[in-house]
Amino acid sequence: MLNNPEMRKEIKEEIDRRLMTAIKAVIDQQIAENKPPETIETLERLQTEGFSQEESYSLIGHLVSMEVAEELVGESGLNMERYVDGLEKLPEPFAKPRKSESEDE
């Protein structure tokens, strides 16, 4: 069954979809609970800087994924200070900064 390339592709796509849904749910929960407040601040800042909502969620999602990975491998677990520091540095290192609309004026 897993030797079938088409089946492997479908399974990978399903796993990716579920992971993205879970990561978005984590971000939505952080926003709803305002914990940490830097999550909504970062989402709004990234959009002001020219990233779409989807791109902004994706950038924040990279940080969420990194924290989850740290916890899974048991290296250091969830580190809110590191997470907030990462939010403040976004979009780097995952994307280059974009020029905001106000800079065009």
Per-residue pLDDT tens over the stretch 32-71: 999 999 999 999 999 999 999 999 999 999 999 998 888 8
- Return d(Cα 44, Cα 68) in angstroms, integer: 23
How far is residue 74's CA from residue 30's CA, in Å, rounded to a whole number?
Answer: 23
Q: Report the largest interatomic distance among the alpha carbons of the chain, rounded to a whole angstrom.
A: 58
pTM of the model: 0.82
CB 34, CB 61: distance < 8 Å: no
- Which of 25-29, 62-66, 71-75 has the least mean pLDDT? 71-75
